[in-house]
Amino acid sequence: MSGKQAIAVFDSGVGGLTVFAELSKILPNETIVYLGDTLRCPYGDRSVETIKKFSVEITNFLLTRDVKMIIAACNTVSSVALDCVKETAGEIPVIGVVEAGCRAAVQSSQAKRIGVIGTRATIGAGAYGKGIRAINPEIVVYEKACPLLVHLVEEGEVDSRITDVALQKYLYDLLDFGIDSLVLGCTHYPLLYNAVLRCVGDGVSVINGAKFVAEEAKKILAKNELLTDKKIGEDIIFATDITPQFERLAAAFLMGAKKNVVKVKL
């Protein structure tokens, strides 16, 4: 591996572009290859066996792009199939958003009461609770599935009254438990950051996993002397289906930045 190789990021759809955006801020000299499996998303309600199969297919595709790191930006994959990605990737470093989010939450929480919101699959797997308690067994974790939130983001309702109502409904129990940190356990959720802040108030730290994944990627690449000081190639976004909604959401997730988008068959 060398510093000239690209960083690969993948997700079941468009949400992982929040990780892409954070990487672009923190590592502006790096070339990023992104794959969104938009044809088969969402993964949240898929079986574990199917998620693992899709994850291996995606990893094998990314390996053909000559990459030096793979980031599983899908919380569902990070929860139930990260071992498959690591095994397929071999010596190439692999980061999952769940691992990074767990570490950030533990560092943030003083009351040792952490809330996590995500898709049904992510919450059902209990990966955040297991990961957080593995770091500090004294921490109490409250996890909540919030299936409506992804749909609200994809409909552009990131700062609307209906989203505020949905968040109040989902977060009421967690706030009642006295959490002092809340993990956004889905890559769509950073777009709801301001709405979540309005709902939880000043007493709760909101953990944007995308930011911490990008910071962790920088640390790992630096440790392995794989950072580059000059951008070599163009960033590229692959998608298994390109729809008007995907293009609209990609523009929103990347704050209007123009990127090459290429349809690919796995």
The string of pLDDT tens digits covering residues 126-157 is 999 999 999 999 999 999 999 999 889 888 89
Across the chain, what does the average pLDDT equal? Answer: 92
Q: Tell me whether residue 186 is one of the annotated catalytic residues.
A: yes
**High-pLDDT (> 70) share of the chain, %:** 100
Judge contact between 181 and 68, C-beta under 8 A.
no
pLDDT at 263: 95
Q: Using the predicted structure, report yes or no on whether residue 200 has a pLDDT greater than 90.
A: yes
pLDDT at 6: 96
Instruction: Note if the pTM is more than 0.85.
Output: yes
Residue 89 — pLDDT band, cuts 50, 70, 90? very high
Q: Using the predicted structure, report yes or no on whether residue 119 has a pLDDT greater than 90.
A: no
Q: Using the predicted structure, report yes or no on whether residue 108 has a pLDDT greater than 80.
A: yes
pLDDT at 23: 96
d(CA 223, CA 227): 9
pLDDT at 122: 84
Active-site residue among 84, 146, 186, 199?
A: 186
Q: Using the predicted structure, report yes or no on whether residue 198 has a pLDDT greater than 80.
A: yes
Active-site residue among 74, 84, 146, 199?
A: 74
Residue 221 — pLDDT band, cuts 50, 70, 90? very high
Residue 88 — pLDDT band, cuts 50, 70, 90? very high
Q: Using the predicted structure, report yes or no on whether residue 258 has a pLDDT greater than 80.
A: no
Q: What are the backbone angles phi and psi of residue 233, rounded to the nearest 5°?
A: -120, 180
What digits encode the pLDDT tens for the residues 236-255?
999 999 988 888 888 888 87
DSSP lists the bridge partners of residue 144 as 117
Instruction: Please state whether the peptide bond connecting residue 42 to the residue before it is cis, i.e. omega within 30 degrees of 0.
Output: yes
Dmax (CA) of the chain: 50
Q: Using the predicted structure, report yes or no on whether residue 61 has a pLDDT greater than 90.
A: yes
CB under 8 Å to 143, separation ≥6 — which residues?
115, 116, 117, 118, 123, 126, 128, 129, 185
Q: Using the predicted structure, report yes or no on whether residue 44 has a pLDDT greater than 80.
A: no
